[in-house]
Structure 1
Amino acid sequence: MAEATAPEIDGRLVAVDLDGATLGRASADVDHERKIAIYDLIEDNRFTLPEHPVSRYRLHLSIRENRLVFDVRDEADAPLILHALSLTPLRKIVRDYFLICDSYYAAIRTATPSQIETIDMGRRGVHDDGSRLLMQRLAGKILVDFETARRLFTLICALHWKG
Structure 2
Amino acid sequence: MAENLFVQQMHRYRKLKGVSAGELAKRVVEQGGSLVEDDIIRLENGTRALRMADGKLIARALDVTVEWLLSSAFRPDSDPALLAPPNESELEAEAKAIERRILEVGSSLNSANQMLKAARRQVEDAHRSEQMAKAMFHQFDTEKIELEREYHYLLGRIDTMRAARGERIETLEFRDKK
TM-score calculated relative to the size of structure 2: 0.18
Determine which structure has the larger strand proportion and give its number.
Answer: 1
TM-score calculated relative to the size of structure 1: 0.19
Determine which structure has the larger helix proportion and give its number.
Answer: 2
Structure whose alpha-carbon radius of gyration is higher: 2
Greater relative contact order (Cα 8 A, min sep 6): structure 1 or 2?
1
